[in-house]
């Protein structure tokens, strides 16, 4: 949270230091209620030898000087984090590239909407171009020539969904991060031509780590409009510009920079004139809240409680429809009856809570998690010991059908 003048703040290692006017000294995180900013001053030679092999180390590699422990204590689900890397613009260049996307589109069968979105936002309305000749409800394979014509001539953005299906290094990286977040961790690639926007202002139902790979992009972030937009369970529709207050952060991401946004952060982005922008968005914690856990646990708890507690199986109070319900909520003459009904209902709820199947609900969510993950990599046997090698396969892309068939064969029970 924001600090008062002369108060104590934590540095990047979690140590306490005196501050002036609410911000930490040079080289320390710059923090307020809305966001924290840190600067990674390492040069390429100092990070090229980093070989993280655990999920925590992968996250730390992304966060740089912001310690993972500090991230979870002061940033996660609380505020935005901006990591600057002015001395190492090549930090993410081995993760992906525009050339890798071009090769993928030429070598693989990629479907509109399912694998890729082509879109443009003109400041008022977003238009999707997920077709080659004319819009159709039928799933259609991308014609690479048509897609690149729209990108180059019409200023359309290209969003590649789940690139980890074709690039082993991304699949391995996301699998490692899943160890940290105990949820599915996904990834999309966004390629935007200069001076263009692909999407209208909106918020997402995921925690997002934006990794700027190529070019530069201006991001404007806005606070949630209402309380139910804080850490939302579902993404928003597009917002009109007049719906939004002034941004609390207006920043240009350069190559190597990272922007973390909690669920519900309203954002809009535009590539700078004269250069394309390519970034990866790594996503976590979709439908991974206490509400989602209880959505699984409570129905089963009610079932178990009803089997054990005869009071839960008794009939409703006689005549309760004559004093319960919205039409009677403001009738002061019925307060005593309504209070007694509420007390009984609360007592029933407490009995149900005694039967919460915490382990069973956790197992059910774990099973859903396993079903949603990608199949294990073919070299998974050595993945736990070997460092991650960021970069595409030797051939850049492979056959999706053959790859998935091979992986599922290995993953199938004997």
Please state the three-class secondary structure of the chain as a single string.
Answer: CCCCCCCEEECCCCCEEECECCECCCCCCEECCCEEEEECCCCHHHHCCCCCCCHHHHHHHHHCCCCHHHHHHHHCCCCEEEEECCCCCCCCCCCCCHHHHHHHHHHCCCEECCCEEEEEECCCCEEECCCCCCCCCCCCECCHHHHHHHHHHHCCEEEEECHHHCCHHHHHHHHHHHHHHCCCCEEEEEEECCCCCCCCCECCCCEEEEEEEECCEEEEEECCCCHHHCCCCCCCCCCCHHHCCCCCEEEEECCCCEEEECCCCEEEEEECCCCCEEEEEEEECCCCCHHHHHHHHHHHHHHHHHHHCHHHHCCCCCCHHHCCCHHHCCCHHHHHHHHHHHHHHHHHHHHHHCCCCHHHHHHHHHHHHHHHCCCCCCCHHHHCCCCCCCCCECCECCCHHHHHHHHHHHHCCC
Residue-wise pLDDT tens digits, 322-336: 999 999 999 999 999
Q: pTM for this one?
A: 0.84
Amino acid 22: pLDDT: 34
Residue-wise pLDDT tens digits, 48-88: 655 667 899 999 999 999 999 999 999 999 999 999 999 99
pLDDT band at 385 (very low <50, low <70, confident <90, very high): low
Mean pLDDT of 281-296: 96
Residue-wise pLDDT tens digits, 204-234: 999 999 999 999 999 999 999 999 999 999 9
pLDDT band at 139 (very low <50, low <70, confident <90, very high): confident
Amino acid 137: pLDDT: 65
**Residue 7 in this model has a pLDDT that exceeds 60:** no
Domain spans, the chain: 290-356
Amino acid 53: pLDDT: 78
Amino acid 121: pLDDT: 97
CATH 3.40.1010.10 fits 290-356, yes or no: no
pLDDT band at 136 (very low <50, low <70, confident <90, very high): confident
Amino acid 32: pLDDT: 76
């Amino acid at each position: 949270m924001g600090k008062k003048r002369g108060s104590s703040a934590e540095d990047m290692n979690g140590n306490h230091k005196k501050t002036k006017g609410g911000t930490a000294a040079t080289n320390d995180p710059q923090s307020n209620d809305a966001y924290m900013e840190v600067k990674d001053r390492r040069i390429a030679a100092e990070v090229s030898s980093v070989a993280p092999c655990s999920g925590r180390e992968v996250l730390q590699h992304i966060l740089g000087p912001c310690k993972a422990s500090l991230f979870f204590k002061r940033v996660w689900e609380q505020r935005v984090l901006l990591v600057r890397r002015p001395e190492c613009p090549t930090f993410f260049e081995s993760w992906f590239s525009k050339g890798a996307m071009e090769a993928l589109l030429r070598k693989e069968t990629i479907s509109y909407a399912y694998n890729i979105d082509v879109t443009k936002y003109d400041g008022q309305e977003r238009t999707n171009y997920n077709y080659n000749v004319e819009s159709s409800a039928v799933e259609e394979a991308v014609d690479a020539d048509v897609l690149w014509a729209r990108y180059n001539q019409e200023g359309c953005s290209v969003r590649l969904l789940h690139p980890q299906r074709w690039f082993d290094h991304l699949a391995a990286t996301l699998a490692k991060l899943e160890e940290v977040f105990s949820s599915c961790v996904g990834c999309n690639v966004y390629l935007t031509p200069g001076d263009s926007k692909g999407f209208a202002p909106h918020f997402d139902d995921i925690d997002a780590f934006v990794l700027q790979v190529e070019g530069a992009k201006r991001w404007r972030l806005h606070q949630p409009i209402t309380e139910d937009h804080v850490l939302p369970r579902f993404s928003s529709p597009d917002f009109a510009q007049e719906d939004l207050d002034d941004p609390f952060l207006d920043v240009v991401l350069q190559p190597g920079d990272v922007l973390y946004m909690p669920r519900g952060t309203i954002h809009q982005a535009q590539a700078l004139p004269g250069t394309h922008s390519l970034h990866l968005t790594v996503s976590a914690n979709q439908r991974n809240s206490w509400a989602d856990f209880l959505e699984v646990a409570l129905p089963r708890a009610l079932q178990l409680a009803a089997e054990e507690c005869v009071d839960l199986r008794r009939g409703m109070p006689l005549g309760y429809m004559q004093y319960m319900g919205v039409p009677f909520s403001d009738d002061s003459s019925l307060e005593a009856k309504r209070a007694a009904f509420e007390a009984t209902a609360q007592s029933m709820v407490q009995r149900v809570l005694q039967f919460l199947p915490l382990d069973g609900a956790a197992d059910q969510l774990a099973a859903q998690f396993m079903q949603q993950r990608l199949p294990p990599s073919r070299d998974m046997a050595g993945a736990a010991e070997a460092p991650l090698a960021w970069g595409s396969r030797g051939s850049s892309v492979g056959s999706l059908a053959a790859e998935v068939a091979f992986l599922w064969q290995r993953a199938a029970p004997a």
